[in-house]
Amino acid sequence: MKIAIIGLGYVGLPLGLRFAESGVSVLGLDVDAAKVAALNGGTSYIKHIESAAIQAARESGHFEASFDFSRVAEVEAILLCVPTPLDIHREPDISYVLKSGEAIAPYLGSGRSDREDRGNSSSPISDLPSSSMPKLVVLESTTYPGTTDTELREVLEKGSGLKAGEGFHLAFSPEREDPGRKDHSVKTIPKIMGGYTPQCLDRCVELYSQALDQVHPVASCRVAEATKLTENIFRSVNIALVNELKVVFQKMDIDVWDVIDAAATKPFGFMPFYPGPGLGGHCIPIDPFYLTWKAREYEQHTRFIELAGEINTKMPDYVIDRVAEALNEDGKAVKGSRILILGLAYKPNLDDDRESPSYVLMKKLEERGAVVEYNDPFVPVIKHTRDHPQYAGRNSVEISGNYDCLLVATNHAEYTEFDFSGFTCPVVDARSCVRNRPEKYFKA
């Protein structure tokens, strides 16, 4: 069979490669022409995905990339893996999902009439599906319950003239991608999925079973949507708990990392989570607010989720206060100090800087008059970001002691092994990862 994957980022690209490895023909669609050219040339633009994997998929004949969305007429299933960010008011922005739906809707039809309508298309008629089986559309992007069977369904029905469950099949199957993991992969992580109708679910199970080891069907699209939110809310709440404990224990001169490591020896009833300078990535800082927003429609207030969000979003301020304390002990103020932030990526040993708290730290320190630079072996140059476009083009600099303060914001292996012991400036470690510590060492 042949499928299309819309959005070739951290979710869509590894998913497409997994399907290609399983023998399914994959058409990767993206609006970024540079990404399309790179993939068709066998080159990866995501550090933890090797170019060799893309080259193998291309050589097998099972993978190609394009920016021509009309080519979804060639495929039997379409998987949407596009961003679902928050807007400036911290409310859900599902515009990428809906625009993708609008782009593919005119090509959802199958059978003779669709072939006649596309008689002038640049795609050969032989490339179009020979089966009259309705196309399957699966949304993978994290969103609030009801998105798939309401907003997306309505856009697809309006643009295609078809009815969901009859003219096309519709399902939701949330991504569970965790970039950089070695113990789990797209193939081995169980896949949750819910269908608009039982027949839609059957099609979804059949599709993903070709490429993944285990699928887990649920009762509806909304159950699947709520499952994904619950997973990420669980992490957000527990991270907020240890972040709060960090602040309390620091006042008591107790090392929270020592406490967590000790508590983790209990073989039941405890799961270790670790504090940090703030939340990063495209899931944990964003997804809980999708449910908070949707709950208001039902006159429900998610106080626990909102409190966790409040604690986590305040962590950069706590870290900056610790930087100010370290500088003060050295007889300096934040204003006018030269500060080097170590780590721009939001997680270790990757180039993924989405929603990284390092950007917030940089912005807040500069607002207080500091001169800030950064080092990150995985992010040599800052690319354009939606929330912090002012930093685009900045370059990573070498680590040295010629600063008034160093702030470790990401626990890259390089920083764990780096020898800071000879540095005379204070080092503030927000990840408790530095082993070779200088005399002026502070945990944040």
| pLDDT tens per residue across span 81-121 | 999 998 888 899 999 999 999 999 999 996 333 433 434 44
Distance CA 361, CA 222 (A): 36
Distance CA 408, CA 297 (A): 41
Pair 156, 125 in one domain? yes
In the sheet that holds 215-217, the strands lie side by side as: 63-66, 25-29, 2-6, 77-80, 135-139, 168-172, 191-195, 215-217
pLDDT score at 115: 36
Residue 327, in any domain of the structure: yes
Distance CA 248, CA 68 (A): 54
Pair 127, 70 in one domain? yes
Is the pLDDT at 127 greater than 90, yes or no? Answer: no
Tokens found for residue 261 = 């490591």
Residue 23, in any domain of the structure: yes
pLDDT in tens, 240-269: 999 999 999 999 999 999 999 999 999 999
Residue 277, in any domain of the structure: no
Annotation marks residue 283 as catalytic: yes
Q: Which of 283, 405, 425, 433 is catalytic?
A: 283
Pair 215, 225 in one domain? no
**Whether 233 contacts 312, CB under 8 Å:** no
Residue 351, in any domain of the structure: yes
**Whether 284 contacts 236, CB under 8 Å:** yes
Pair 158, 248 in one domain? no
pLDDT in tens, 13-51: 999 999 999 999 999 999 999 999 999 999 999 988 999
Helical (H) or strand (E) element with 178: none
Tokens found for residue 258 = 């020592």
Taking the CB of residue 336, how many other CB atoms lie within 10 A of it?
Answer: 11
Please report which residue ranges of 370-421 form alpha helices under DSSP H. 413-417
The 8-class DSSP code of residue 297 comes to: H
**Whether 225 contacts 172, CB under 8 Å:** yes
Residue 278, in any domain of the structure: no
Burial label for 67, CB within 10 Å (0-12, 13-18, 19+), is middle
pLDDT in tens, 374-401: 999 999 999 998 889 999 999 999 999 9
Pair 134, 50 in one domain? yes
Residue 410, in any domain of the structure: yes
Give the domain-ending residue among 188, 204, 219.
Answer: 219
Give the domain-ending residue among 184, 200, 219.
Answer: 219
Pair 134, 20 in one domain? yes
Tell me the three state secondary structure of residue 80: strand
Tell me the three state secondary structure of residue 195: strand
Percentage of the chain beyond pLDDT 70 is: 95
Pair 383, 431 in one domain? yes
pLDDT in tens, 294-321: 999 999 999 999 999 999 999 999 999 9
pLDDT score at 116: 37
- Domain membership of residue 55 as a residue range: 2-219
Pair 27, 107 in one domain? yes
Pair 352, 240 in one domain? no
CATH number at residue 12: 3.40.50.720
| Average predicted confidence (pLDDT) for the chain | 93
Residue 418, in any domain of the structure: yes
Map tokens 């608009």 to a residue.
Answer: 196
Helical (H) or strand (E) element with 242: helix 221-251
Identify how many contiguous H helices and E strands the chain contains and give both numbers.
14, 13
Pair 23, 126 in one domain? yes
Pair 334, 298 in one domain? no
Residue 149, in any domain of the structure: yes
Q: Where are the beta strands (DSSP E) in 69-123?
A: 77-80
Is the pLDDT at 421 greater than 70, yes or no? Answer: yes
Taking the CB of residue 253, how many other CB atoms lie within 10 A of it?
Answer: 6
> What is the reported pTM?
0.90
Give the domain-ending residue among 176, 191, 219.
Answer: 219
Is the pLDDT at 422 greater than 50, yes or no? Answer: yes
Helical (H) or strand (E) element with 109: none
pLDDT in tens, 185-227: 999 999 999 999 999 999 999 999 999 999 999 999 999 999 9
Pair 265, 409 in one domain? no
Give how many domains the chain has, as a whole number: 3
Angle made by CA atoms 264, 270, 272, in degrees to the nearest 5: 55
